[in-house]
């Protein structure tokens, strides 16, 4: 989630990683490099072999304007409470990261974890505490997903990495790749990294995230206060039954957080929406990579930031603009950071 992503909401560790321009990373060590029992490796080894060989999961869905209107009303309270607007007319491009509202996990309650989360790619016990660590989205500028299209998504596990943080806690990083196609072929790649840790039922101290302040000032920003209704609606739209997002008693008494957590992909979507409203006509966000550092909580203000950066030779040749995006929590600490590469829309 080298680490392709970072911890967003750790209920068991003060682990942090970030982009070099925003905060200094905290190194994790391979499990084999420290003197400890080999039992974690034994537990994970057979599961790792089987999960990497698991058949590709193929799902289908249709980009419905009603769902997009519901997501728009969820993200922004000022969205008109009407039938789908012209923004979501047939053929209109799907905003980046809005595909999370589609392909809901088709899993019955009996097959969920005790915290309500789906266990499709989860390691065996005792690594049951799950966190969204980050990921990325790459769009095909010549074949964007559009309203009314039928989509097909292929999901596979691309890697399992076992690390230890400085506290000696084992962390299992599970990387997923989701390829989304429409009738014209490949349209989008969504990469995600999930982090699993041992669920410590004896722990009683509350979660305290380390404060890491950003090193830059944004070119533009906006502030929102994520409400309980916002978190519930996003959970409903994405068919996410993880109790940590909507059950205060569970989040507070069991996971030891001060309140319900904001979803990782929801935070990422807000970073993109802040930038999307500033981009000029004819520009497309082609590549988005993001990492997470600390939790965001219900009813706590968050500042969503963006800053234009230089285009460098290591980027794709078609990139014309580059941005750093990040979120600051209610204390001014860095909670999520990312980069966005922008290209010109192909001529029709």
pTM of the model: 0.85
Q: What would the pLDDT profile of 167-219 be if each residue is shown by its tens digit?
A: 788 889 999 999 999 999 999 999 999 999 887 666 777 777 778 888 899 99
Q: What would the pLDDT profile of 246-302 be if each residue is shown by its tens digit?
A: 999 999 998 899 999 999 999 999 999 999 999 989 999 999 999 988 999 999 999
Per the CB < 8 A criterion, the answer to whether 268 and 256 are in contact is no
Alpha helices in 86-180 (DSSP H): none
Where exactly are the structural domains of the chain? 29-344
CA-to-CA separations, 243 to 41, 145, 215, 254, 265, in angstroms, rounded: 29, 31, 34, 10, 16
SS3 104: coil
Calpha distance 342→294 (Å, rounded)? 27
Calpha distance 96→79 (Å, rounded)? 18
- What CATH topology corresponds to 29-344? Thiol Ester Dehydrase; Chain A (3.10.129)
């Amino acid at each position: 989630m080298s680490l392709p992503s970072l911890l967003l909401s750790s209920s068991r560790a003060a682990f942090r990683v970030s982009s070099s321009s925003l905060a200094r990373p905290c190194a994790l060590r391979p499990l084999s490099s420290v003197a400890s029992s080999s039992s974690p490796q034994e537990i994970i080894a057979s599961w790792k072999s089987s999960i990497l060989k698991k058949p590709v999961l193929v799902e289908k869905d249709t980009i419905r304007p009603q769902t997009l209107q519901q997501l728009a009303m969820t993200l922004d309270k000022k969205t008109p409470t009407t039938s789908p607007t012209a923004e979501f007319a047939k053929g209109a491009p799907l905003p980046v990261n809005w595909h999370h509202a589609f392909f809901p996990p088709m899993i019955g309650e009996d097959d969920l974890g005790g915290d309500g989360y789906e266990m499709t790619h989860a390691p065996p016990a005792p690594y049951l505490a799950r966190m969204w660590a980050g990921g990325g989205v790459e769009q095909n500028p010549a074949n964007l997903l559009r309203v009314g299209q039928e989509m097909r998504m292929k999901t596979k596990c691309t890697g399992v990495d076992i690390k230890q943080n400085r506290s000696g806690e084992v962390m299992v990083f599970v990387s997923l790749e989701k390829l989304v196609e429409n009738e014209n072929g490949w349209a989008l790649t969504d990469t995600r990294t999930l982090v699993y840790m041992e669920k410590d039922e004896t722990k009683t101290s509350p979660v305290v995230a380390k404060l890491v302040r950003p090193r830059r000032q944004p070119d533009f920003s906006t502030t929102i206060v994520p409400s309980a209704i916002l978190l519930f609606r996003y959970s409903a739209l994405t068919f996410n039954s993880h109790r940590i997002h909507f059950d205060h008693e569970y989040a507070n008494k069991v996971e030891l957080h001060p309140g319900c957590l904001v979803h990782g992909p929801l935070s990422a979507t807000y970073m993109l929406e802040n930038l999307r409203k500033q981009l000029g006509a004819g520009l497309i966000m082609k590549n988005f990579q993001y990492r997470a550092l600390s939790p965001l909580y219900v009813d706590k203000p968050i500042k969503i930031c963006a800053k234009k950066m230089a285009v460098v030779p290591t980027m794709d040749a078609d990139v014309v603009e580059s941005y750093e995006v990040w979120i600051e929590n209610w204390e001014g600490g860095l909670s999520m950071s990312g980069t966005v590469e922008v290209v010109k829309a192909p001529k029709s």
